[in-house]
C-alpha cells in the first residue's frame, strides 16, 4: 500500500500542465446559479460590485483539512471586509460519489470548523466546476467587482497536506486581494493548483 505521503504528493502535483481557459485571469468569470446548503438560490451576479473568492472544498481531502485544521482557511474567510469581499465555498463532489455530503451534513461540517464563508454552495452535478475548469480541492479563484477573474490557482506555495506548512507559506489569495484592494495589478494572477481531484461524474 502506498504511504499517505506518496499519495499526497501524487495528488499535489497531478495538475501540472493543465489549462484554465474557462477561468482565465483578465477574462469574465462564467456565470452560475446554484443552491446553497440552506436551499437558497445563489448567483455569481448577486455579488456584483464586490470581490468574490471561490474556494473549492471537500472535507474528505487532506489538503483541504490542512487549511482547516490549521485554522488558515477560517482566518482568511473572517479577515475579509464583508462589504468588499464575498467568500463562496463550493463543493463540486458529484452526488453519486462516496465522498459526497448532503447539504445538512456539509453545513454541519462548516459549523464544526467555525468557518465563515458568505455561502456554502452545492454543485452536486459539478456544473460550476466544469464551467471554471476547476481541477482540485482547494482550488481558489478571485473575481473582481466587474466580474473578471483576477486570480486562479493554488491557495499558497506550500504544496503539501501538512498543516505545519501553512506557516511561512506565500498565500496567493491574500496577495491577489491585497494588490486588487490596493488599486494595483495582481502580481501573480495564475498558479497551478494542488490538492485532491474534484470528484466529477463519470
Question: Looking at domain 4-197, which of 1.20.1090.10, 3.40.50.300, 1.20.1530.20, 3.40.30.10 is its CATH number?
Answer: 3.40.30.10
Q: What is the pLDDT of residue 22?
A: 65
Residue 5 pLDDT exceeds 80: no
Q: Give the residue from 11, 36, 192 showing the smallest Cα distance to 128.
A: 36
pLDDT tens digits along 134-180: 999 999 999 999 999 999 999 999 999 999 999 999 999 999 999 99
Q: Give the residue from 16, 18, 23, 11 showing the smallest Cα distance to 58.
A: 11
Residue 14 pLDDT exceeds 60: no
Tell me the pTM: 0.89
Residue 202, C-beta contacts closer than 8 angstroms, at least 6 positions apart: none
Domain boundaries, given as residue ranges, for the chain: 4-197
Rounded to whole angstroms, the Cα distance separating 63 from 194 reads 8
Amino acid at each position: 500500500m502506498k504511504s499517505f505521503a506518496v499519495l499526497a504528493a501524487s495528488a499535489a502535483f497531478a495538475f501540472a500542465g493543465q489549462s484554465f481557459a474557462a477561468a482565465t485571469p483578465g477574462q469574465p468569470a462564467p456565470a452560475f446559479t446554484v443552491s446553497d446548503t440552506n436551499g437558497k438560490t445563489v448567483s455569481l451576479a448577486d455579488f456584483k460590485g464586490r470581490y468574490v473568492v471561490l474556494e473549492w472544498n471537500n472535507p474528505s481531502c487532506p489538503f483541504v483539512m490542512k487549511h482547516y485544521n490549521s485554522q488558515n482557511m477560517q482566518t482568511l474567510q473572517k479577515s475579509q471586509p464583508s462589504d468588499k469581499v464575498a467568500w463562496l465555498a463550493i463543493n463540486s463532489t458529484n452526488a453519486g460519489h462516496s465522498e459526497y455530503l448532503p447539504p445538512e451534513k456539509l453545513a454541519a461540517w462548516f459549523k464544526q470548523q467555525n468557518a465563515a464563508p458568505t455561502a456554502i454552495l452545492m454543485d452536486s452535478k459539478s456544473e460550476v466546476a466544469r464551467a471554471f475548469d476547476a481541477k482540485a480541492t482547494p482550488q481558489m479563484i478571485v473575481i473582481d467587482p466587474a466580474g473578471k477573474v483576477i486570480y486562479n490557482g493554488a491557495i499558497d506555495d506550500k504544496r503539501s497536506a501538512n498543516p505545519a506548512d501553512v506557516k511561512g507559506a506565500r498565500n496567493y489569495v491574500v496577495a491577489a486581494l491585497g494588490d486588487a484592494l490596493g488599486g494595483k495589478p495582481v502580481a501573480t494572477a495564475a498558479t497551478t493548483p494542488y490538492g485532491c481531484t474534484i470528484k466529477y461524474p463519470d
